[in-house]
Amino acid sequence: MDDVDDDEFEPLECVRLPVAIEAHDVDVGGPSTVRLFFRGPGGVDPEPGGGLSEVLVLEQWDRVSIGLVRRLVHGDAPDGTVHGGELLIRGTQVSLDVVLHDPLGERPLIDASTGNAVARVERTSPGLLPAEAMGTPRWISS
């Protein structure tokens, strides 16, 4: 094995990266389901659901907070490859259905990563939005 100076590289780590929710809809995913719209990781082929590792849901009587998390590799691999996390290129918008305990109703949807209310998507026709064209998976909570 080659002698490697530990000071020359940063070991690989899996880091959590919050993902901003851009919009939501409540009329298309079924009862008590909210459809979320957000950006998938940049620089890769889009995949349904945007490659999330966690969806955190906190329902209260007056609001619903949802946090989306992606895990990325960061650091230097032994072969010299540098992993720096997410690319700065904006990914394609994707969608994900999250089942709530109760219907969203009049409660605001809050992005847990920013603390801001998430706008409802504006649909101009009954057809699918581009973010829904590749499919909208349903998040299964464990």
Residue matched to tokens 């609001």: 63
Please indicate whether residue 41 or residue 142 has the higher confidence score (pLDDT): 41
Provide, rounded to the nearest whole percent, the portion of the chain with pLDDT above 70.
82
Q: What is the pLDDT of residue 5?
A: 53
How many residues comprise the chain?
142
Distance from C-alpha of 115 to C-alpha of 140, rounded to nearest angstrom? 24
For 71-115, how does the pLDDT look when each residue is reduced to its tens digit (9 = 90+)? 877 677 777 776 665 555 567 889 999 999 999 999 999 999 999
Segment 120-138 shows an average pLDDT of: 88
Q: What is the pLDDT of residue 9?
A: 59
Please indicate whether residue 2 or residue 121 has the higher confidence score (pLDDT): 121
For 54-74, how does the pLDDT look when each residue is reduced to its tens digit (9 = 90+)? 999 999 999 999 999 988 776
Contact by Cβ (8 Å): 94, 100 = no
Q: What is the pLDDT of residue 1?
A: 45
* In the predicted structure, residue 132 carries a pLDDT above the cut 80: yes
Q: What is the pLDDT of residue 69?
A: 93
